[in-house]
């Protein structure tokens, strides 16, 4: 048994499974090995890994980066650090770091996208137009005192640091970077480490080196998808036409002609490469490059436009085009170049070009190979060997933990009566699904969440469901702000005694980002399999992983869908006291090719008559 004090454990008791997690983490740290940790929700992964890595980092002069996919998860990590500090009175500095845009005190910057904001900020700084930055740079003695005050209050949540900076009118990001130099643990976002230019900038400013860092990636099942998005670049006829307007406003006739020509090239490529019925085709790097005269000069000219535009506007479309053209001439292996055409939501025709990343290891391997230890952890990292392959981790420790909660607290059912298979989507099937859902919702006491493969399918099934359901129905709306989403959830929770039903989508934010512990949620129904649309990107992903690992369908298609289903199902049981029913409603879940993907300790029951099982469970 591990000594609590030895690893700065923040609670009275180390649970047995936490003890095992700590042993695995310690082993990886001592051997300078990497760890892939598949451990179910509720096991206390954060409270086990943070103290184990922090205590090791303090003894060996290393820095811990705890990376999460969402800002909300920073809070749990900082709470753990506050408890460590209170309990052991240990002298270490922790930092809660979020993206620069979210730490900016300028107004309305949230409308800028992640590639536009850095340019905007750089421009203000260079021209000495940001008072918050000027204050930080000029009032050196006051800033030093201010940083000392912040350090004395450590650990602080990022919102608290932001408020303190806001009062004094210092740029919060610059203050955070000053704190980062001495921080022994930094709670940050994925891209602080996995975006190469952001990482290099951060490490240069903080005088840190990857080889002296322990990287913990929380909810790491998200990492492959996030990295693919990060390394993907796209332009469309719309973006180019907006860039033309910018060039005209600058009287830059050369740029206008270059962009006009680019627009024509896209239209001609669509005519040359696509049949009338095609909406996407693969093209080669050279197909675009050979049509653009003086490729590098065009990029430089557009970069100049972007810089001039940034003097008056926060975002530049010319800048987006130049970035795309730079990316387009990049690597072939691990990427697909896709030409698409179709109609936008408003009915406008569009043509777009995408340089799409297929292989996240292009970015992650470099981080993993050069860090002291990387720990990938999640409740859905199974099979662990897939993540080893996808993320390019050589010879890691693979560690899988069983569900720590009593087996009797959960009932896992597959109902193989319906399907959302594309070829069988019709009114009869929707009515059948609606009836089956309504029967379950009406018979299960308390709150229930139902997740569908898409919002569209949810709405089509709800046409029949709403008349059969006897409980109040809540809808997950698309495009809501964080506070609006939370407000819906709070209202839903209030129905825990009378019971309500929440209808969401597997790709939505409720399927992964919510915690409904205790009696707030009695059941989750996962309708259908959230398989990705078999578009060109998915086909290329399957081909790529077939060539690389001979596991194209598993890595590119089947496992990502099952992981989404398991994530949605995981909303129900969040602690050892929670009891609930998890229902997978699709005949494909009973097929061996899909059923083999369920965790072995879930003891799934396959039945077309779940009523008796459910009744007995809630007795």
Report d(CA 354, CA 402) in Å as an integer.
Answer: 41
The verdict on 401 binding ligand SF4 (CB under 6 A) reads no
| Closest CB 249 distance from ligand SF4, rounded Å | 23
Closest CA to 389 of 417, 407, 418, 368: 368
The verdict on 137 binding ligand SF4 (CB under 6 A) reads no
- Site track for ligand SF4 across 42-81, x = CB under 6 A: ----------------------------------------
Q: What is the DSSP letter of 616?
A: H
Query: Count of residues binding ligand SF4 (CB under 6 A)?
Result: 12
Report d(CA 169, CA 358) in Å as an integer.
Answer: 43
Report d(CA 229, CA 429) in Å as an integer.
Answer: 34
The verdict on 34 binding ligand SF4 (CB under 6 A) reads no
Q: Using the minimum distance from each CB to ligand SF4, give the nearer residue, 129 or 498.
A: 129
3 state DSSP class of 412: strand
The verdict on 315 binding ligand SF4 (CB under 6 A) reads no
Which residues, in sequence order, are bridge partners of residue 353?
235, 339
Span near ligand SF4 by CB under 6 A; candidates 129-137, 278-286, 509-517, 578-586: 129-137
Buried (b) or exposed (e) across 413-437, using 16+ Cβ within 10 A?
bbbbbbbbeeeebeeebbbbbbebb
The verdict on 116 binding ligand SF4 (CB under 6 A) reads no
Q: Using the minimum distance from each CB to ligand SF4, give the nearer residue, 164 or 590.
A: 164
Report d(CA 66, CA 218) in Å as an integer.
Answer: 7
The verdict on 146 binding ligand SF4 (CB under 6 A) reads no
Closest CA to 53 of 27, 79, 72: 27
| Closest CB 118 distance from ligand SF4, rounded Å | 9
The verdict on 161 binding ligand SF4 (CB under 6 A) reads no
The verdict on 4 binding ligand SF4 (CB under 6 A) reads no
CB 83 within 8 Å of CB 39: no
Span near ligand SF4 by CB under 6 A; candidates 124-132, 296-304, 312-320, 451-459: 124-132
The verdict on 97 binding ligand SF4 (CB under 6 A) reads no
Closest CA to 244 of 306, 303, 318: 318
Q: Using the minimum distance from each CB to ligand SF4, give the nearer residue, 176 or 558.
A: 176
Instruction: Provide the CB-side half-sphere exposure for 598 (13 A, CA).
Output: 23
Tokens (6 digits) for 595:
């059923």
Span near ligand SF4 by CB under 6 A; candidates 54-62, 101-109, 271-279, 373-381: 101-109
| Closest CB 63 distance from ligand SF4, rounded Å | 23
CB 500 within 8 Å of CB 507: no
Pairing of strands 500-505, 448-452: parallel
The verdict on 94 binding ligand SF4 (CB under 6 A) reads no
Read off φ and ψ for residue 196, nearest 5 degrees. Answer: -60, -45
| Closest CB 41 distance from ligand SF4, rounded Å | 35
Closest CA to 510 of 491, 530, 490, 485: 485
Selected from 121, 339, 376, 505, the binder of ligand SF4 by CB under 6 A is 121
Q: What is the 3-state secondary structure (H, E, C) of 485-497?
A: HHHHHHHHHCCCC
| Closest CB 119 distance from ligand SF4, rounded Å | 11
Span near ligand SF4 by CB under 6 A; candidates 61-69, 130-138, 417-425, 490-498: 130-138
Selected from 173, 452, 474, 617, the binder of ligand SF4 by CB under 6 A is 173
| Closest CB 113 distance from ligand SF4, rounded Å | 15
| Closest CB 192 distance from ligand SF4, rounded Å | 15
Span near ligand SF4 by CB under 6 A; candidates 123-131, 375-383, 450-458, 531-539: 123-131
| Closest CB 229 distance from ligand SF4, rounded Å | 23
Tokens (6 digits) for 356:
């799409």
Selected from 133, 146, 317, 335, the binder of ligand SF4 by CB under 6 A is 133
Selected from 104, 175, 216, 298, the binder of ligand SF4 by CB under 6 A is 104
- What DSSP element (H or E) covers 114? none
| Closest CB 181 distance from ligand SF4, rounded Å | 17
Read off φ and ψ for residue 375, nearest 5 degrees. Answer: -115, 115
Selected from 24, 41, 55, 106, the binder of ligand SF4 by CB under 6 A is 106
The verdict on 559 binding ligand SF4 (CB under 6 A) reads no
Cα end-to-end distance, the chain, whole Å: 39
The verdict on 313 binding ligand SF4 (CB under 6 A) reads no
Q: Using the minimum distance from each CB to ligand SF4, give the nearer residue, 174 or 540.
A: 174
Which residues, in sequence order, are bridge partners of residue 608?
none
Report d(CA 484, CA 126) in Å as an integer.
Answer: 37
Closest CA to 68 of 165, 193, 163: 193
Q: Using the minimum distance from each CB to ligand SF4, give the nearer residue, 314 or 341.
A: 314
Q: Could you tell me the sign of the dihedral formed by the alpha carbons of 479, 484, 486, 490, in that order?
A: negative
| Closest CB 186 distance from ligand SF4, rounded Å | 18
The verdict on 521 binding ligand SF4 (CB under 6 A) reads no
The verdict on 545 binding ligand SF4 (CB under 6 A) reads no
Closest CA to 527 of 495, 503, 560: 503
Binding site for ligand SF4 (CB under 6 A): 100, 104-106, 121, 124-125, 130, 132-133, 171, 173
């Amino acid at each position: 048994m591990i000594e609590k004090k030895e690893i700065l454990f923040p609670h009275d008791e180390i649970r047995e499974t936490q003890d095992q997690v700590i042993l695995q983490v310690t082993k990886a740290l001592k051997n300078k090995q990497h760890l892939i940790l598949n451990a179910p929700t509720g096991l206390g992964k954060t409270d086990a890994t943070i103290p184990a890595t922090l205590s090791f980092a303090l003894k060996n002069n290393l820095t811990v980066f705890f990376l999460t996919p969402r800002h909300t998860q920073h809070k749990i990590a900082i709470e753990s650090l506050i408890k460590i500090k209170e309990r052991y009175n240990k002298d270490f500095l922790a930092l809660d770091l979020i993206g620069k845009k979210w730490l900016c005190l300028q107004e309305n910057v949230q409308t800028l996208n992640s590639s536009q904001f850095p340019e905007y900020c750089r421009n203000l700084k260079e021209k000495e137009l940001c008072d918050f930055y000027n204050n930080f740079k000029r009032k050196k003695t006051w800033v030093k005192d201010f940083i000392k005050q912040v350090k004395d209050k450590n650990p602080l949540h990022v919102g608290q640091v932001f408020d303190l900076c806001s009062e004094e009118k210092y740029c919060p990001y610059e203050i955070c970077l000053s704190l980062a130099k001495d921080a022994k643990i930094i709670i940050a976002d994925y891209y602080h480490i996995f975006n190469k230019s952001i990482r290099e900038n951060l490490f240069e400013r903080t005088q840190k080196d990857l080889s002296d860092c322990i990287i913990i990636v929380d909810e790491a099942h998200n990492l492959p998808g996030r990295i693919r998005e990060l390394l993907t670049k796209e332009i469309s006829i719309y973006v180019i036409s907006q860039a033309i307007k910018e060039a005209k406003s600058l009287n830059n006739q050369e740029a206008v002609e270059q962009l006009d020509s680019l627009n024509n090239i896209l239209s001609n490529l669509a005519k040359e490469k696509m049949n009338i019925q095609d909406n996407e085709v693969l093209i080669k790097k050279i197909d675009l490059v050979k049509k653009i005269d003086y490729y590098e000069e065009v990029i430089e000219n557009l970069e100049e436009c972007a810089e001039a535009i940034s003097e008056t506007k926060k975002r530049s479309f010319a800048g987006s085009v130049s970035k795309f053209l730079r990316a387009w001439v990049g690597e072939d292996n691990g990427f697909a170049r896709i030409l698409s055409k179709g109609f936008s939501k408003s009915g406008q025709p569009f043509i777009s070009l995408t340089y799409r990343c297929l292989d996240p290891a292009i970015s992650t391997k470099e981080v993993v190979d050069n860090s002291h230890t990387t720990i990938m952890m999640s409740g859905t990292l199974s099979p662990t060997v897939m993540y080893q392959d996808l993320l390019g981790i050589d010879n890691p420790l693979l560690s899988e933990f069983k569900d720590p909660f009593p087996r009797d607290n959960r009932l896992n059912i597959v109902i193989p009566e319906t399907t959302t298979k594309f070829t069988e989507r019709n009114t009869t099937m929707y009515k059948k699904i609606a009836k089956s859902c309504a029967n379950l919702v009406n018979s299960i006491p308390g709150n229930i969440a139902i997740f569908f493969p898409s919002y569209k399918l949810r709405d089509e099934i709800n046409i029949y469901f709403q008349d059969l359901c006897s409980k109040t129905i809540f809808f997950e709306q698309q495009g809501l702000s964080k506070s609006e989403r939370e407000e819906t959830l709070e209202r839903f929770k209030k129905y825990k005694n009378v019971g309500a039903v929440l209808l969401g989508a597997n790709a939505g934010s409720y399927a992964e980002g919510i915690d409904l512990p205790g009696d707030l949620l009695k059941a989750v129904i996962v309708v259908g399999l959230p398989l990705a649309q078999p578009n060109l990107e998915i086909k290329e992903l399957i081909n790529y992983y077939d060539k690389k690992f001979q596991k194209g369908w598993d890595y590119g298609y089947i496992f990502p869908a099952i992981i989404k289903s398991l994530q949605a199902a995981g909303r129900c049981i969040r602690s050892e006291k929670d009891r609930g029913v998890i229902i997978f409603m699709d005949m494909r879940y009973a097929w061996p090719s899909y059923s083999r993907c369920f965790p072995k300790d879930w003891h799934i029951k396959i039945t077309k008559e779940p009523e008796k099982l459910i009744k007995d469970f809630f007795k």
